[in-house]
Amino acid sequence: MTVDNGLKNSHGLDNIGSSEKSSHYINTNKYRNLYVVIEIVDGMAIPVNYEMLGEARRLMDGFNARYNSNEKVIALVLGENVKEMCNEFIYHGADAVIFADNTNLKYLLNQTCTKVISQMVVDKKMIAVISPEYASEFEKPRYMFFAADSIGRHLSATVLAELDSGLASDVNKLSIADLDIKHQYKTNGQTVRYEKILEIYRPDFSGFLWTTILCLDNKSPEIKKDYHPQACSIIPGAFIPIKREANRRGIIVEYTPKFDQQDLRIKILNRTIIKDKIDFDSHKVVISFGRGVKENPEENIKLIESLAKLLKAEIGISLPISKKIFPLDERINSTYIIPSRVIGTSGRKITPKIYISIGISGAIQHLEGMKESEFVIAINPDENAPIINECDVLIRGKMEDVIPVLIDEIKRIVSPLEVQASKK
């Protein structure tokens, strides 16, 4: 879900870089720092936390140098017995950590955590300790990061609704810039300078184009309104953590959450993690298919199924396939057309020894999920498909023609080897 009080791409956006600028003014000194919401699961910090902190550190180092400021990367940590792990977030890029240690936060229940996070990020006492030079004017964070996972996607939406601002979901590229923007409603048709804007990028549905999402204040006098923090949820694996530095020092502050009885109506008595039945990691070969199955979807998927069985491969799919765009029988739908098989930024990132792409053109978001494969084979009739740039071998042709030949050849080679092995 994307809750966007800003603008996407060029829809209604004109004259970027124009010299006709208006002097509409909104006091952005009320908004400071970049807050990263940390997820603790079963007493452990999950990897995406360090990826978000790394990108936050890179962005704010550039921000402070450019704007001659001293804004901080602040990690927000909720949980039970979390105090001892706070230094790790300093070592991985945070300037400060605000933690709430409470038995009611052992499990990250959305209703409870939404309330606590919304309290933490506007608390002036916390800012007085962390950024005393900004405390007098401070109202809200300038930017916020969440993880784009099952917890973070939900939590980010409810927190930003509580803070009355916008959110971009599932992003994998970020930058900060000053922009001259002309918009019919937000700027009353005039070109206005927006400063310190978080430019948020994610692939569009096709996967071939980048969508730029901006969370912009309404500067038109008739509908004047601020939208801060500028926030996003970040896809795991999109960014690289910075090197851990155990000599980094920062500020660690404890926040004492306030609960009403109504907040504690839901309690988790027991929790068991169910492992995903789609186990790409234990397979040396992964075969994925995309919209290229369209000429005869059911029969083509059965061919792919046969090839996968022969190679002891797991089967993946491209994102558009997961939207159930073809009529298929229930067995195929429930077995293969499911979100947990999606390869790419909206699904899984895999590193098999052999990756076979069948009928996949090679959208950006898909390539991000498979580009670390050791050896890539693409079956595609289009020699200009983007997947060609990522593959080691291209078999140019329709899957209906290629897969049966492959199956026959593999059987011809494998059968004598199996006979020899049985004799030993």
Contacts of 256 (CB under 8 A, 6+ apart): 100
Q: Which residue has the higher pLDDT, 205 or 408?
A: 408
- The fraction of the chain above a pLDDT of 70, given in percent, is 90
pLDDT for 84-120, tens place per residue?
999 999 999 999 999 999 999 998 899 999 999 999 9
pLDDT for 334 beyond 80: yes
Which of 76, 158, 153 lies closest to 115, judged by CA?
A: 158
pLDDT for 7 beyond 70: no
pLDDT for 275 beyond 60: yes
pLDDT for 220 beyond 90: no
Fill in the amino acid letter for 149.
D
Q: What is the pLDDT of residue 315?
A: 97
Mean pLDDT across the stretch 293-320? 95
